[in-house]
Amino acid sequence: MAYYSQSAINRAREMDLLTYLQTYEPDELVRISGNTYTTKTHDSLKISNGMWMWWSRGIGGRSAVDYLMRVRDMTFIEAVSQIANDESALRKQYEKPKPRTEKNLILPTKAENNDIAIEYLKQRGINEDVIYAMIEAAKTAILTEKDEKYGLEVSKRAKELINSYVMDLTGGNIYDLDSYCNLNKTNYEILDTWYSVLLVEAPYLFDSYLLYLEKNREEKNKFYFPKMKQLNKHGLIQAMQDLEDDKLDYLSISMPPGTQKTTLEKFFSSWIIGKHPSDYSLFFSHSSDITRMFYDGVLDITTSEEYTWSEIFPEVRLRDTNAKAEKMDFGKYKPFYSLQCTSVGSKNSGKVRCNRYLYCDDLIGGIEEAMNRARLDTLWNVYSVDARQRKLNEQVKEIHIATRWSVHDVIGRLKALYGNSDRARFIAIPDIDPTTGESNFNYKYNGMSTKFFEEQALVMDEVSYRCLYKNEPIEREGLLFPEDKLRRYLNLPHG
């Protein structure tokens, strides 16, 4: 068995994994971005800033010896021998400035975690209490001084520091750490600190609200976290934030069936109830089945222990519910309930009203209605004379969620009226991204792949598919049939 001096062993121990792979196995390295790498053999193994983490196995470290022993299953002597065989590589290592000292484990034990975070901040010239001070400053600015803008700027900076710490230490961001902890039933103090910032922001930022609301749920059961990438890619979360920040008056969202656009609306409605317990909103749809599902969903979010709604809005209490009338009330008594749900054809005069939001969800029942111009005219009258007349004043915002069946549907007519206004936004997301050719809805769990959409298109008529999955109205360019399908005659044919 080979013998190595203590100095040789120490030198081997001090070689970091990136230097080892660059020296011995350069073809194994795959650069992701900046100073972050992965390997060809294990794409879940990330290397960044002198540390490495094998996410799929939940193990990590700093040195090449750690890697050879824990990933390659070598003994300690075998690992030292592998490194010591090329003295030139060791000399190359020591010609470089030594990296700053870090803790050995990429995911430290819970007892060590706070010390590592403090050491990290000290190395960057930041006092160990800075993040906690920022959180308290944000609370004071928002709750005491009523300076929401400044408070959110401070909390944003606190999140940036936390995320930077996690990225430097693990090679992944805070969301990667959150997912890892959720799936492995563990936790780290830095993640608790992150959530404490989200709690400060949750009443004011829709994104933070969605994340904190489901913090205790299993990842596979969460609505937002597994869909966050897709929902933000198309600007849905920002659009809803802009509504609440009074940058918009009208928001229209059209997406393929099953992509949970109405579920997103439920979460938004639950947020609005907590933010504005003295106000009242109205949900309007073509079907009483849909209104009942919406009512049940919002009630579950605001009252179930599975969600943290009561932590975000601790002063807001459920006052009354009426399942038959599909309405619920929070906070103090007011003339109309916090959320009221009603359907097309209901006698709404005097029963329902809204002073905050009017939610219109799928006012058209299907393609048969969409192809009947008289029926579309009737539905426009239902919206304009019934639903819209429930608005208390011009300050009430509107959200329209629907399949784009026709240019003469409610969304089409609103687009004709407000399409050029910077106070209105019309978002239509097709099944497939036309640039990448990939699915727009390939969520982490229960997503829809490109293959799924291709198979749906095979069994459906083209008109229905393009309406439902591509959000292209029947008429397209103003015609019921495509241009190349029309036949024109100077004289009528015989017979």
Give the Cα separation of 173 and 162 in Å (integer). Answer: 9
Query: What predicted TM-score, i.e. pTM, was given to this entire model?
Result: 0.72
Q: Is 92 helix (H, G, I), strand (E, B) or coil?
A: helix
pLDDT at 482: 47
Sheet arrangement for strand 424-428: 318-322, 327-330, 339-343, 281-285, 357-361, 397-401, 250-254, 424-428
Q: Is the pLDDT of residue 54 over 50?
A: yes
Q: Among 95, 61, 274, 55, which Cα is nearest to 177's?
A: 55
Pairing of strands 397-401, 357-361: parallel
- CB count, 10 Å around CB of 105? 18
Give the Cα separation of 46 and 169 in Å (integer). Answer: 11
pLDDT band at 36 (very low <50, low <70, confident <90, very high): confident
Q: Contact at 8 Å (CB) between 128 and 134?
A: no
Cα of first residue to Cα of last residue in the chain, in angstroms, is 101
pLDDT digits (tens, 9 = 90+) for 223-251: 999 999 999 999 999 999 999 999 999 99
Q: Is 53 helix (H, G, I), strand (E, B) or coil?
A: strand
pLDDT digits (tens, 9 = 90+) for 124-173: 544 445 677 788 888 888 888 888 988 899 899 889 888 888 887 778 89
For residues 65-97, b (16+ Cβ closer than 10 Å) or e, as one string?
A: bbbbbbbeebeeeebbbbbbeeeebbeebeeee
Higher pLDDT, 425 or 87: 425
Question: Which residues are 359's β-sheet partners?
Answer: 283, 399
Tokens linked to 217: 């749920």
Q: Is 249 helix (H, G, I), strand (E, B) or coil?
A: coil
Helix-, strand-, coil-residue percentages of the chain, each rounded to 5:
50, 15, 40
Q: What are phi and psi of 426, to 5 degrees?
A: -120, 110
Output the average pLDDT for the chain.
84
Q: What value does the mean pLDDT take over residues 435-459?
A: 94
Sign of CA dihedral 211, 212, 217, 219: positive
Q: Is 113 helix (H, G, I), strand (E, B) or coil?
A: helix
Q: What are phi and psi of 439, to 5 degrees?
A: -65, 140
**Residue 44: what residue type?**
S
Give the Cα separation of 428 and 430 in Å (integer). Answer: 7
pLDDT at 484: 53
Pairing of strands 397-401, 327-330: unpaired
pLDDT band at 95 (very low <50, low <70, confident <90, very high): very low
Q: Which residues contact 336 (CB under 8 A, 6 or more apart)?
A: 280, 352, 353, 354, 355
Give the Cα separation of 194 and 167 in Å (integer). Answer: 13
Question: Which residues are 342's β-sheet partners?
Answer: 284
pLDDT at 345: 73
pLDDT band at 339 (very low <50, low <70, confident <90, very high): very high
Tokens linked to 423: 């106070």
pLDDT at 126: 47
* Residue % of the chain over a pLDDT of 70: 85
